[in-house]
């Protein structure tokens, strides 16, 4: 009887509440919400993200510069007996390899992660999670990541971070992201991978069921399944690109001048087609243009559509990006989707936190 009672107690977790910094259109929040977490508010400087964030996450969007956000904006949001999570993905552009090489020339770009650290120190949440590009870990001794980790340690948090290869967790793109988890409850880690190369989610698994469309066209039943128009020259290039190929397969008269130079030859994937049997490449803010990566459809003579990009990012087809999706800006939609945390990765983070809370709650009960 005693063991059964303990098991019952362990299954009843406290309320888990989240405040999301740099929330964008809400990919991370949505993934955590899908695991039963209560999303309280999202903060972001881009006011155009408000509709998507609030509509899909049932949480308030606050348009405010993080430099002006204080504990007074966040602490009153949490319930007294809840597990309090402060989540965020500071904009990744400052942490590119190029930016690191020029760190001393523009140190102000790194302030956003320091501001996140300031808020952790002020708010004292139970758990912190951050997601960013792997390059942020390239300078472990002197980088802003090291400073952030030290701050967390000084505040009594157990810290874990690792580079995640997204296909290992059922995300159909070759995205690599650094995920950090920190907890004052005890040691915390990311859950083990759920997939291997033998069962990665592929391009075919993700978009093969969508109706075919032409370059510049829109699916009548899905206004987000639309793609860019191609110029006559780029259509010739698309037609000359075989399955899984790229500009390297073109005749000389279709090559760009940059591809004829030694530096240009290193960009082998641009103007490339995806293949059905593998995950898609990383979705970027320019993922709906064929000249920006391997963003050509495997068979149809066009770049991928907004809907396809969203599905590769694991946004469900029910996710609302715009109040009027018949007037979709391809540039804006690509930026929203490329900048987002894949909701599926948000689910993985949330499940890792859930397992961590359950484990530490059980261990405390045993003492």
Helices (H), 163-217: 203-207
- Predicted confidence at residue 363, as pLDDT, reads 59
Q: Cβ distance 230 to 290 under 8 Å?
A: yes
What are the pLDDT digits (tens) for 78-128?
A: 999 999 999 988 875 554 443 444 444 445 556 899 999 999 999 999 999
The greatest distance separating any two alpha carbons of the chain, rounded to the nearest whole angstrom, comes to 80
Among left, alpha and beta (phi > 0; psi -120 to 50; other), residue 314 is: left
Q: Identify the pLDDT of residue 144.
A: 83
Residues 215 and 282 in one domain: yes
Q: Are residues 208 and 64 in the same domain?
A: no
Is 0.95 topped by the overall pTM?
A: no
Q: Which of 19-28, 89-98, 106-115, 171-180 has the lowest mean pLDDT?
A: 89-98
**H or E segment at 121?**
helix 111-123
* Shared domain check, 347 and 324: no
pLDDT digits 0-9 by tens, 216-253: 999 999 999 999 999 999 999 999 999 999 999 999 99
Beta bridge partners of 350: none
Residues 207 and 171 in one domain: no
Are 204 and 183 within one domain? no
Residues 217, 204 share a domain:
yes
pLDDT at 92: 56
Residues 144, 110 share a domain:
yes
pLDDT at residue 336 tops 70: yes
Q: Report CA-CA distances (Å) from 301 to 28, 111, 272, 292, 345.
A: 33, 43, 11, 16, 31
Looking at the structure, do residues 180 and 316 belong to the same domain, yes or no? no
Residue 7: pLDDT band with limits 50, 70, 90: very low
Average pLDDT, the chain: 89
Structurally, the chain folds into a number of domains equal to 2
The per-residue pLDDT for 11 is 56
Q: What is the mean pLDDT of residues 129-156?
A: 85
**pLDDT tens digits for 40-53?**
999 999 999 999 99
CATH code assigned at 218: 3.90.120.10
Which helix (H) or strand (E) element contains residue 161?
A: strand 158-165
3-class SS of residue 40: strand
pLDDT of residue 89: 85
* Averaged pLDDT, 352-364: 85
Q: What is the pLDDT of residue 109?
A: 52
Predicted confidence band of residue 266 (pLDDT cuts 50, 70, 90): low
Residue 172 pLDDT > 70: yes
- Indicate if 163 and 24 belong to the same structural domain: yes
What CATH number corresponds to the domain at position 93?
Answer: 3.40.50.150
Report the pLDDT averaged over residues 323-330.
88
Residues 6+ apart with CB under 8 A from 117: 147, 148, 151, 152
pLDDT of residue 367: 44
Q: What is the pLDDT of residue 103?
A: 47
Which residue segment(s) compose the domain that 70 sits in? 2-194+343-366
Catalytic residue numbers, as ranges: 92
The pLDDT value given to residue 268: 60
pLDDT of residue 270: 87
């Amino acid at each position: 009887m005693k063991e059964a009672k303990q098991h019952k107690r362990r299954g009843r977790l406290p309320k888990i509440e989240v405040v999301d910094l740099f929330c964008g259109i809400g990919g991370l929040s949505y993934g955590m919400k899908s695991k039963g977490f209560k999303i309280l508010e999202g903060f972001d400087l881009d006011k155009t993200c408000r509709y998507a964030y609030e509509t899909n996450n049932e949480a308030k969007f606050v348009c405010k510069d993080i430099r002006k956000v204080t504990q007074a904006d966040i602490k009153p949001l949490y319930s007294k007996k809840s597990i309090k999570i402060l989540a965020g993905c500071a904009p990744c552009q400052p942490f590119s390899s190029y930016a690191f090489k020029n760190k001393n020339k523009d140190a102000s770009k790194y302030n956003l992660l320091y501001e996140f650290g300031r808020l952790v120190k002020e708010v004292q949440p139970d758990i912190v999670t951050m997601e960013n590009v792997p390059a942020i870990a390239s300078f472990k001794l002197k980088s802003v990541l090291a400073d952030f980790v030290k701050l967390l340690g000084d505040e009594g948090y157990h810290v874990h971070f690792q580079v995640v290869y997204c296909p290992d967790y059922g995300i159909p793109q070759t995205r690599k992201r650094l995920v950090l988890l920190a907890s004052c409850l005890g040691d915390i880690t990311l859950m083990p991978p759920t997939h291997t190369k033998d069962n990665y989610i592929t391009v075919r698994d993700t978009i093969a069921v969508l109706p075919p469309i032409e370059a510049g066209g829109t699916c009548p039943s899905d206004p987000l399944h639309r793609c860019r128009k191609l110029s006559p020259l780029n259509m010739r290039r698309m037609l000359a690109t075989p399955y899984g190929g790229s500009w390297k397969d073109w005749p000389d008269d279709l090559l760009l001048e940059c591809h004829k130079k030694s530096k240009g030859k290193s960009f082998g994937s641009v103007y490339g087609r995806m293949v059905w049997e593998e995950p898609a490449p990383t979705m970027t803010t320019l993922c709906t243009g064929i000249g920006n990566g391997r963003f050509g459809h495997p068979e149809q003579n066009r770049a991928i559509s907004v809907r396809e990009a969203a599905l590769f990012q694991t946004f469900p087809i029910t996710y609302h990006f715009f109040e009027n999706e018949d007037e979709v800006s391809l540039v804006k939609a690509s930026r929203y989707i490329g900048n987002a945390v894949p909701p599926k990765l948000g689910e993985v983070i949330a499940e890792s936190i859930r397992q961590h809370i359950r484990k530490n709650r059980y261990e405390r009960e045993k003492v």
